[in-house]
Structures are given as C-alpha cells and as structure tokens.
Amino acid sequence: MADLQAAYAHRADLMDANYRDTTRAQHADFSAALERNNADIQQRLWADMEKVKLDYERLIYTELRLIRQRAAAGGAGGSASPSPPAPAQPPALPLDYSRFAERFRGDESHVKEGQRFYAPHFTGCREVLDIGCGRGEFLELMREAGVPARGIDLGEESVAACREKGLEAETADLFAYLAALPEHSLDGIFCAQVVEHLPPGRLPEMIGLCASRLTRSGVIAIETPNPECLAIFATHFYLDPTHVRPVPHPLLAFYFQENGIGVIELRKLSPALETMPSLASLPEDFREVFFGGLDYGIIGRKL
C-alpha cells in the first residue's frame, strides 16, 4: 500500500507539473497571439484614420474650389480693374554664392546629412524636381536612392558644379520653368532655402504652380528659416543679402491647403542650441518655444 501510495503521489506530481507547463505555454501563446492581433488592429486603425483624414481634406478642398468657382462666375460680369503685374524675381547678386554657402550654411556633407531625412518621402517617385538645387546635395541623395531627379537654379556656377558631379541641372527661373511644364508631370518637388528669397506676393503663385504640376499624391517638401526661432534673426537670416522675408510655417501650410496639398507634416531642423550653447541656461520650455529649430521643413501631398 505504501509503494502504491508513493507511486500515485509521484504520478500526481508529474501530472500537475505537466498541466502547469502546458497551461503556461498555452497562456504564453495566447498572450503572443493577442499582442500580434492588437498590433495588427492598431496598424489597420491608423491606416483607416489616415485614409479618412485624406478623404476629408480632399472633400474640404473640393468644396472650397467650388465656392471659389461660383464666386468667380458671379463676379465675371462686373467690371474689375486689372491687377498690377507681380514683381519679377530679384536678380542674383554678383558674389561667389558657392563660397558664401560654404562659409555660412556649411559644407556639402553637412547640408546633405541634414537633408537625408527627406529621402524616404520621395521613395518610388519617377519625376522629382529640385527647385534651387544649389550644389546638388539633394540630387545626390536621390541618385543614391535610385530616384530620377533634376534641378534648376539661378546660379550658373551652382549648375556647373552639379553637372560636374553627373547630376541633371540647368539654369532657369523657377516661375518660367514651372509654367512651361505640363500639368501633373511631376510626382515630387523639393525646395530648400528658396522661398525666403521671393517677394511675398509671388510665394502663393509659386505654390500654385507647384501644386498644379504635381500628380495626385505627389509629394512636395519645402525647407526655409524658421521665424519662430528668435536666434535666426540674431545669426543667420540677415547674413544673406538676398533674403527678402521669412515665411512662418502656418502661412506656408495655409498656401498648401489653398492649393489642394494636404497630409501636412512639419519638422523643426537645426536646433539653435547646437550652435549657441549659451541657450542651455534658459528654461527648457521657453527655449523650445522661442529658440527651437533654426530651420523647418514642411512636407505635403497633392490631394
């Protein structure tokens, strides 16, 4: 009886241990499956929300366009004085802009590294235009990514530097060049450190031209000094004699939306703290608001 009782107790312990192991394994499998399902549901939810957001922005843009068309049709019969011609793009100053950029903006590797985060937004594009291509840093990034891209610039020396690297670039005025392109002929537009050189009245014209040349879901990215960062006025902005006026990002986002560009993303660039260590003595919240990024990048897609 004692032997039987001991054998029974041993078998009971084994069965209990096996049951616990089986239960633990089933619980781990269930938890892993539940986590995978939750992640999948969350990804589908975010994708659905992005789709709803995009459809909503398209609807708003369509309604605004209809309202403008009705207003234009209603006022077509009235007499209106002709609008004065927009001022032409200011001529380039007689200076070595390549040397100027090297000294005050940074060498090519520094600029190229700062623009690298834009590259994923242009993945899959087949016709990308770099407006104000300069020394060709972004064009080189596109070549590395296998994305066809070409550039335009007012500076003949900059265009020559691009061609020496085997990049496609030409000397051209952005307004004339964009106006000569067929509509919906580009699926990507990049423009860095250009809009602050334009007369304020011509900036909406430029955004309108860019939007009309983009295909549906085409991407546009614009980079410019950030006027919300007070340090930009004490250091970089007025160093360039060709700068006309800084462009706040809410204004640029408004121009985007007015011309059917949505899914807008904003990114602050070049933290002022990196070039002005004395800002570390300021409270962090104050520093973030008034001394954040020296530049910003705004990215959107054609609705």
Q: According to the model, what pLDDT value does residue 84 have?
A: 47
The DSSP secondary structure of the chain, one letter per residue, reads: -HHHHHHHHHHHHHHHHHHHHHHHHHHHHHHHHHHHHHHHHHHHHHHHHHHHHHHHHHHHHHHHHHHHHHHHHHHTTS--PPPPPPPPPPPPPSS-HHHHHHHHT--HHHHHHHHGGGGGGGTT-S-EEEET-TTSHHHHHHHHHT--EEEEES-HHHHHHHHHTT--EEE--HHHHHHHSPTT-EEEEEEES-GGGS-GGGHHHHHHHHHHHEEEEEEEEEEEE-TTSTHHHHTTGGGSTT------HHHHHHHHHHTTEEEEEEEEEEEHHHH-GGGGGS-HHHHHHHSSEEEEEEEEEE-
Look at residue 294 and tell me whether its pLDDT is greater than 50: yes
Is 105 in contact with 111 (CB distance < 8 Å)? yes
* pLDDT-derived band at 81, boundaries 50, 70, 90: very low
Work out the burial of residue 283: count CB atoms within 10 Å of its CB; fewer than 13 is exposed, 13-18 middle, 19 or more buried: exposed
Query: Does any domain span residue 69?
Result: no
Total domains in the chain come to 1
Q: In sequence order, what DSSP letters do the residues of 246-295 get, joined into one string?
A: ---HHHHHHHHHHTTEEEEEEEEEEEHHHH-GGGGGS-HHHHHHHSSEEE
Per the structure, the complete domain to which residue 203 belongs is given by 103-302
Asked whether residue 240 is assigned to any structural domain, the reply reads: yes
197 within some domain: yes
The predicted-structure confidence for 233-255, as pLDDT tens digits, reads as follows: 877 788 888 889 999 999 999 99
In a domain, 175, yes or no: yes
Mean of the pLDDT values across residues 275-297? 86
Judge whether 121 and 190 are in contact, CB under 8 Å.
no
For the cut 80, the answer to whether the pLDDT of residue 106 exceeds it is: no
Q: Which of the residue ranges 14-18, 119-123, 201-205, 297-301 would you say has the lowest mean pLDDT? A: 14-18
**Domain annotation covers residue 26:** no
pLDDT in tens, 142-187: 999 999 999 999 988 889 999 999 999 999 999 999 999 999 999 9
Q: pTM of the full predicted structure?
A: 0.70
Residues 6+ apart with CB under 8 A from 279: 231, 272, 273, 287, 291
Residue 289 resides in a domain: yes
Q: Lowest-confidence range among 4-13, 29-38, 90-99?
A: 90-99
Is the pLDDT at 111 greater than 80? The verdict is: yes
CB-count exposure of residue 137 (10 Å: 0-12, 13-18, 19+)? buried
Residue 97, in any domain of the structure? no
CATH code (residue 183): 3.40.50.150
- The answer to the question of residue 23 being in a domain is no
Identity at 111, one-letter amino acid code: V
